[in-house]
């Protein structure tokens, strides 16, 4: 995270507030998701100024296609300090590009109605990690206008004088952490962990292998290729003791230059138990996720996780004492954290699930309820929610189902509280007014991810809509009327605190990067302090200015939940025609796991777990809900079971199919998407 910089020229930013569909956004805000909406999804715009009605116009012809009356979204909205109004345009289902105009003369940005609107958002957000790659050239073929030569190939890295080792090692690769060129294990941990979570829990939604990165087309989903690039760098940061070094940076933040022009020695800083815990957790999860693609790499990840866990056991107190702090003469990102209990808990959960380590399992069961279960979302400083959700979703002989039930109930309770926050917010943001801090957009999206998980664990359909509302917020339904994702929407963040975007000579910023968003702590950077008066309502504390690192920087841990949430809903749109909706109260007696392998050719194994005796049948349908096969499974006792689905004689074409379990003529499980490739 940068804390110093040079201000970038605004390039007449005020003039770009902007002309969209021929109209100015300079008056009241008409907040819409600038990426768009699925045809059958709710479409609710939020207005900052009252109007009797709102007109929907076709962008190409400027003709009115729909008129809707307005309602009240929130009087005295605490996050913005103003009255807000709503316009429900959900009856607009015809594919096309539109914009809104109120009876008071205010206009929205353009938006699209289509069942593929979130696919470009997902692809751009995931491609954003490629643009953050360090140690390799980004070619014009893959990076387009934002190509550059290789960087930091000879400077990564020498051990800092305070580190436990001396000399130099080759630690090339990985991702630049944020708007600066540093590389930090703690932030890498939650970022890679979130990407792997998305794939492990929803593999059918993250199979894309055509992102146009160098590894595309190799038969491995690009989300895993991209995460692997960071994992391989992380492995270079492990010491012989098993502990993991904290970061690689220069002593001071670099100026605004292209990465290949950033000269000077970079240093590896001392061992850290927070970094080691995050490292152990991510490596253990990677061992599970990559096993079917590259067993040797998966084994190296598991071995690294086990060595890191051994280091943590040998050092039960936080390392260094009190947590990592920058030594004298260093002012780069500190990621200060004086409590490593959450990192240890996450490492224990993931290592148990990857290897069956009984000691790690006991550590988790002893610690998971203190100081509570799921009481907040995941952040780089607190990864307890990742630990809890890993165990909840885990499947291993001997797993404690009582603990899983407690975590499930805690998750559902937390998601219920998020839904209430969403309902109380004029712009439907599921955070408290006190949560508009540095990187608030990532908290909003991490809450969305928990809402998605809550939905899949038996929560009501409203959880999914609440999660989608958070995506709407970052893509334009906010008091600024801005899409916080560079390159997405006509009125998107244009001047992020991001060194390549500020020094490449290209007007448009590097695309697919999420700005941090409103930060009520306006004293944290001079631009915010100068532009935002003290006492301004928190959601308004944002400036699209390169100088505002406290509200407009980008970071890999902010992009990760954007990838997860956008990818989830991008795939959801293609599945809406099938009977995918989960009932509000499915029994917890059954868990249907993702099939393996997936994708598959010919046959695949479908596994499920029962906590009571049940008479079941397996149902397979296509994406239109048409029955493919129904197979009686009979009366089965409690425990884990599996069945093979063989497509050899069915004459099916390649594509997605949907499986579920039924009993007594009623579906009693979640659904899983199966990808058949001929």
Q: How far apart are CA 323 and CA 337, in angstroms?
A: 6
The helix (H) or strand (E) run that includes residue 615 is strand 614-622
Show the CA angle centred on residue 163, arms to residues 160 and 165, nearest 5°: 100
- In whole angstroms, give the CA distance from residue 67 to residue 89: 8
CA distance linking residue 481 with residue 476, whole number of Å: 5
Cβ(230)–Cβ(260) below 8 Å: no
Torsion of CA 133, 137, 142, 147, to 10 degrees: 100
Residues 6 or more apart whose CB falls under 8 angstroms from that of 417 comprise none
List Cα–Cα distances, 251 to 158, 244, 268, 294, in angstroms: 12, 19, 10, 37
List, by residue number, the catalytic residues: 180, 497, 544, 553
Could you tell me where the DSSP H helices lie in 269-340?
A: 273-289, 295-314
Widest CA span of the chain, in angstroms? 70
Whether 454 and 412 have beta carbons less than 8 Å apart is answered as yes
CB-count burial class (<10 Å; 0-12, 13-18, 19+) for 132: buried
Handedness of CA 657, 38, 59, 65 (dihedral sign): positive
DSSP conformational letter for 511: T
For residues 541 and 535, give the distance between their C-alpha atoms in angstroms, rounded to a whole number.
10
Sign of CA dihedral 535, 537, 539, 545: negative
648 CA to centre of own chain:
37
Structure tokens at 69: 């009356």
Residues with Cβ within 8 Å of residue 349, at least 6 apart in sequence: 281, 360, 364, 368, 387, 388, 390, 391, 394
- Other C-beta atoms within 10 Å of 362: how many? 12
Beta-carbon count within 10 A of 78 CB: 14
Instruction: For residues 319 and 338, give the distance between their C-alpha atoms in angstroms, rounded to a whole number.
Output: 9
CA distance 168 to 265: 11
CA terminus-to-terminus distance, the chain: 46
- In the Cβ-directed half-sphere of 415, how many Cα atoms lie within 13 Å? 28
Report strand pairing: 244-245 vs 30-31: unpaired
CA dist., res. 551 & res. 503, Å (int) = 19
């Amino acid at each position: 995270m940068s804390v110093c910089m040079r201000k970038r020229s605004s390039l007449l930013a005020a003039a770009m507030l902007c002309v969209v569909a021929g109209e100015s956004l300079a008056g009241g805000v008409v907040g819409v998701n600038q990426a768009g909406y699925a045809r059958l999804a709710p479409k609710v715009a939020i207005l900052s100024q009252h109007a009797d009605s709102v007109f929907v116009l076709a962008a190409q012809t400027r003709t009115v296609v729909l008129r809707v009356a307005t309602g009240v979204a929130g009087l005295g909205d605490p996050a913005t300090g103003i009255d807000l109004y709503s316009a429900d345009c959900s009856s607009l289902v015809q594919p096309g590009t539109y914009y809104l105009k109120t009876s008071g003369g205010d206009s929205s940005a353009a938006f699209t109605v289509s069942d593929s609107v979130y696919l470009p958002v997902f692809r751009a957000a995931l491609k954003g990690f490629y643009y953050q790659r360090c140690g390799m050239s980004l070619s014009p073929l893959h990076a387009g206008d934002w190509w550059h030569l290789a960087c930091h190939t000879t400077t990564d890295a020498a051990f800092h004088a305070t580190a436990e080792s001396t000399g130099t090692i080759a630690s090339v690769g990985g991702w630049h952490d944020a708007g600066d060129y540093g590389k930090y294990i703690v932030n890498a941990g939650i970022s890679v962990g979130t990407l792997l979570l998305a794939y492990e829990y929803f593999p059918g939604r993250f199979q894309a292998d055509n992102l146009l990165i160098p590894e595309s087309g190799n038969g491995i989903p690009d989300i895993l290729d991209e995460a692997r690039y960071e994992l391989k760098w992380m492995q270079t940061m492990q010491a012989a003791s098993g502990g993991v070094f904290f970061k690689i940076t220069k002593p001071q933040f670099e100026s605004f230059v292209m990465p290949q022009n950033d000269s000077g020695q970079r240093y590896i800083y001392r061992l850290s138990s927070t970094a080691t815990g995050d490292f152990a957790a991510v490596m253990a999860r990677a061992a599970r996720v990559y096993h079917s693609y590259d067993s040797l790499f998966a084994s190296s990840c598991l071995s690294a996780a086990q060595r890191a866990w051994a280091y943590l056991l040998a050092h039960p107190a936080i390392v260094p004492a009190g947590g990592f702090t920058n030594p004298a003469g260093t002012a780069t990102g500190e990621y200060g954290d004086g409590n490593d209990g959450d990192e240890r808990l996450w490492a224990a959960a993931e290592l148990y699930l990857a290897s069956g380590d009984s000691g790690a399992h006991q550590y988790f069961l002893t610690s998971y309820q203190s100081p509570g279960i799921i009481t907040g979302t995941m952040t780089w400083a607190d990864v307890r929610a990742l630990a809890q959700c890993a165990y909840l979703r885990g499947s291993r002989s001997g797993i404690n189902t009582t603990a899983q039930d407690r975590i499930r109930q805690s998750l559902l309770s937390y998601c219920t509280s998020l839904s209430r926050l969403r309902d109380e917010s004029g712009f439907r943001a599921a955070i408290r007014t006190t949560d508009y801090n540095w990187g608030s957009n990532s908290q909003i999206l991490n809450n969305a991810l928990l809402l998605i998980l809550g939905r899949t664990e038996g929560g009501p359909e409203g959880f999914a809509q609440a999660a989608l509302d958070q995506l709407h917020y970052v893509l334009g339904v906010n008091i600024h009327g801005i899409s916080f994702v560079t390159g997405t929407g006509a009125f998107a963040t244009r001047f992020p605190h991001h060194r390549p975007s500020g020094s490449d000579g290209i007007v448009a910023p590097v695309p697919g990067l999420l700005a941090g968003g409103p930060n009520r702590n306006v004293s944290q950077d001079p631009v915010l302090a100068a532009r935002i008066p003290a006492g301004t309502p928190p959601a308004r504390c944002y400036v699209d200015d390169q100088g505002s690192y406290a509200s407009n920087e980008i970071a890999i841990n902010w992009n990760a939940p954007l990838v997860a949430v956008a990818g989830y809903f991008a795939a959801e749109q293609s599945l809406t025609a099938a009977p995918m909706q989960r009932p509000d109260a499915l029994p917890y007696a059954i868990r249907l796991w993702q099939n393996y392998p997936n994708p598959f050719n010919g046959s695949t194994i479908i596994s499920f777990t029962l906590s009571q005796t049940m008479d079941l049948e397996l149902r397979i349908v296509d994406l239109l809900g048409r029955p493919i096969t129904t197979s009686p499974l009979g009366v089965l006792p409690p425990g884990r079971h599996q069945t093979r689905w063989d497509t050899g004689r069915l004459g099916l074409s390649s594509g997605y199919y949907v499986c579920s379990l039924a009993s007594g003529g009623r579906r009693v499980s979640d659904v899983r998407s199966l990808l058949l490739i001929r």
